[in-house]
């Protein structure tokens, strides 16, 4: 029997949570010893072969490497994971829209293919080392050489290039306790999703736009793969009720129904009890 409180279709990695819980249980039941990264890859393979979604390793690894009060900084080239403290004065608010989240209709796969095509293009035009992924491309290089790509492929490629840079900047800002600076990067990330990767939607954009007008919200972006689901807000927890009320009021005025707002704190990853 599986029990859980992650809303289905909310874009909050319910499938990864189920996969990691199952892997841990079966490993215990049959006396199998696997490290966390290997377990995460087993869950990823299930997504690829059973669900038909060519996802990365983010959701599964985050489900296992989580730590109370910290974020997971992931390097997927080397499969290295470390925790970055978030700090005690903030929390996240997940705002679930009523736009159903789905990644298996081809939209996610087409964007992944565009990024792979762009990486091959940059490998051919950049005069440096071995370029294998878009993480090897800087924003300046994208600006310089984007003309050799189709407009759509260029737009898709700039999003992960920017995201890689934002992750490094964000970790450095958290080390200094600069929560507002980190929040600004969250807003930048959402704008990149909205304008370049085009994996947002009207409902998610409305939530982020409403959040920008609330001083106690430091940052906001769509959660996970987008295409519906939820937004993640970095908030002052003391103002959570007021934030929820304002977001709900604006969302209901625009769409006629209410989102679901939940305050959450980072916790330890999946483990046996």
Mind listing the pLDDT tens digit for each residue in 56-101?
Answer: 899 999 999 999 999 999 999 999 999 999 988 999 999 999 887 6
Which one, of 201, 236, 187, lies nearest residue 215 by Cα?
236
Are the C-beta atoms of residues 265 and 95 closer than 8 Å to each other?
no
Alpha carbon distance 101, 110 (integer Å): 16
Burial class (CB in 10 A: 0-12, 13-18, 19+), 64: buried
Q: How far is CA 196 from CA 60, 61, 159, in A?
A: 26, 26, 6
Q: Which pLDDT value is given to residue 105? A: 63
Q: Which pLDDT value is given to residue 102? A: 62
- Tell me the HSE value of 264 on the side-chain side, using a 13 A CA sphere: 19
End-to-end CA distance of the chain: give it in Å, rounded.
15
Count of all residues that appear for the chain in the document: 273
Q: Is 61 strand, coil or helix?
A: helix
pTM of the model: 0.92
Residues of the chain with pLDDT under 70: 8-9, 101-105
Alpha carbon distance 89, 179 (integer Å): 9
Q: How far is CA 264 from CA 14, 90, 234, 268, 272, in A?
A: 15, 10, 10, 13, 21
Active centre residues (catalytic):
59
Alpha carbon distance 38, 237 (integer Å): 36
Q: Which pLDDT value is given to residue 9? A: 67
Q: Is 266 strand, coil or helix?
A: coil
Q: Which pLDDT value is given to residue 103? A: 56
Q: Compute the C-alpha angle 190/191/195, nearest 5°.
A: 120
């Amino acid at each position: 029997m599986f029990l859980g409180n992650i809303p289905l279709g909310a874009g909050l990695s319910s499938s990864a949570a189920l996969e990691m819980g199952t892997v841990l249980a079966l490993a215990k039941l049959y006396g199998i010893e696997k490290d966390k990264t290997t377990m995460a890859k087993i869950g990823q393979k299930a997504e690829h072969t059973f669900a038909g979604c060519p996802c990365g390793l983010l959701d599964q690894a985050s489900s296992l490497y989580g730590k109370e009060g910290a974020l997971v900084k992931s390097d997927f080239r080397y499969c290295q994971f470390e925790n970055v403290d978030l700090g005690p004065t903030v929390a996240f608010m997940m705002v679930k829209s009523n736009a159903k989240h789905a990644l298996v209709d081809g939209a996610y796969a087409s964007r992944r293919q565009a990024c792979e095509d762009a990486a091959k293009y940059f490998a051919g035009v950049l005069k440096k080392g071995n370029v294998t992924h878009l993480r090897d491309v800087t924003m300046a290089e994208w600006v310089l050489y984007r003309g050799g790509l189709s407009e759509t492929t260029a737009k898709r490629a700039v999003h992960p290039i920017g995201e890689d840079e934002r992750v490094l900047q964000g970790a450095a800002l958290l080390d200094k306790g600069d929560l507002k600076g980190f929040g600004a990067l969250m807003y930048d990330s959402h704008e990149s999703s909205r304008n370049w990767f085009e994996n947002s939607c009207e409902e998610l954009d409305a939530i982020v736009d409403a959040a920008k007008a609330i001083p106690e919200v430091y940052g906001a972006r769509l959660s996970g793969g987008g295409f519906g689901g939820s937004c993640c807000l970095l908030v002052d927890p003391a103002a959570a009720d007021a934030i929820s009320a304002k977001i709900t009021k604006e969302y209901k005025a625009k769409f006629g129904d209410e989102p679901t707002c939940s305050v959450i704190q980072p916790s330890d990853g999946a483990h046996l009890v």
